Amino acid sequence: MSISQKIKRFYRYTTIYGFNRTLIKSFGHLRLNIPIWLYFAFPRYFRTGKKVGIIGCGHHSFSSIAYFVTSNSNAKLLWAYDTNINSSKSLSKNFGIKYWELKQIKDLETNLVYIVSNHSTHTKYAIEYLKKGCDVYIEKPISINESQLKELSQVVESSENNVYVGYNRPHSPAVKLVKKTVENSNTPFTLSAYIIGHMLNEDHWYRDPKEGTRIVSNAGHWIDLATHIMFWKDDIPKRLHISIAYSNLKTPSDNISINITTSNNDLISIVFSTRNEPYEGVNETINFQQDNINAKIDDFRKIKIWNKDKIINKKFYPKNNGHKKAVLQPFSKIKPRKWKEIKISTQLMLFIEKMVQNLDSEGIFEITN
């Protein structure tokens, strides 16, 4: 890639993430040992808020979790751990925290733990730190199979600590505006999500069945958004009819159409396409219709809502799909999403994943209390 191409790419990223976060992402990819924490006005040793730890020091931790947490004056980032020692040391050095070994971390006083490790370990770490009396933020997915979810649910339901999840779309200002517009409506809705996703190599770890496959890693975002919208109504559906169309049976989760009709007459369509590498990262077009309301979200850069004869237009720069709000949930006054909603969202995702693994075209998902 030429220098001019790199400059253009950097500029494109600023429209997605903003200048500061794009700079941090660049540092993260290059693993430059620069004291990023100096960029923030309120150094960590002056902070008296929640004592925070991070498990998993990959790119997402670097450019999202650690960045947003460090930029929040109510957070005191104490430690970061990764099975890759170099990743742990790099994140620790860049964000101005001492490097600790795992056996030392267990003795540190911690109030909140962000779990951003490989997908298969999310449940294990969440259970461990909930039992220690910590609040936990679990990056998606919270579990990769039913047995993990069952074990996690037992701990969550008996714990007094808060559980936050990394599904960010429900926290976006666009989705919140739609929710406010249709508030108190219990009529059927139609949701359509068209996603242009990344092309992944055949050996990418997202494809590893031990890590939950691509339905869990990617499509789970929009399955969760659909579940979240179902919970806007007082009466959630009891039964979902699911139909799936596959473009290529050799890579069934790459180009796929998932259609859901509910016992409440809701209609949900999720089309996930990966035929080329998107120019500006994942691109989403979301349409929503209920009562007299029509809404269109254009890649979380802008939204247009038609409400009878009233039109609402809003733009977001940089694009805002709710990442910051999601990561900083533990520091807001808003209560975390109800566990029942998260649990059903995960159950539905795992059900669809199993359908894809079996190349099933039709399925019935029952929602129980």
Q: Quick: pLDDT tens for 195-227.
A: 999 988 888 888 888 888 899 989 999 999 999
- pLDDT tens for 53-67 read 999 999 899 889 998
Long-range CB contacts for residues 332-341, cutoff 8 Å, separation at least 24: 336/162, 336/163, 336/164, 336/165, 337/165, 337/170, 337/228, 338/231, 339/153, 339/156, 339/157, 339/163, 341/227, 341/228, 341/231
Domain 169-366: which CATH number of 3.30.360.10, 3.40.50.720, 3.20.20.300, 3.40.640.10: 3.30.360.10
| DSSP string across 55-101 | E--SHHIIIIIHHHHHT-TTEEEEEEE-SSHHHHHHHHHHTT-----
Tell me what pLDDT residue 322 has. 96
Report the candidate in 292, 318, 294 with the shortest Cα–Cα distance to residue 304.
294
Cβ-based neighbours of 292, under 8 Å, separated by 6 or more: 307, 308
- pLDDT tens for 254-300 read 999 999 999 999 999 999 999 988 877 899 999 999 999 999 999 99
Cβ-based neighbours of 202, under 8 Å, separated by 6 or more: none
Helices and strands: H and E segment counts in the chain: 13, 14
Query: What fold is seen in the domain 3-165?
Result: Rossmann fold (3.40.50)
* pTM higher than the cut 0.75: yes
> Letter for the amino acid at 5?
Q
Q: What gap in Å lies between CA 27 and CA 222, rounded to an integer? A: 30
Tell me what pLDDT residue 41 has. 47
Domain spans in the chain, listed from the N-terminal domain onward: 3-165, 169-366
Would you tell me how many other CB atoms lie within 10 Å of the CB of residue 323? 23
Q: Are 348 and 365 in contact (CB under 8 A)?
A: yes
Instruction: Supply 166's token pair.
Output: 């990394």
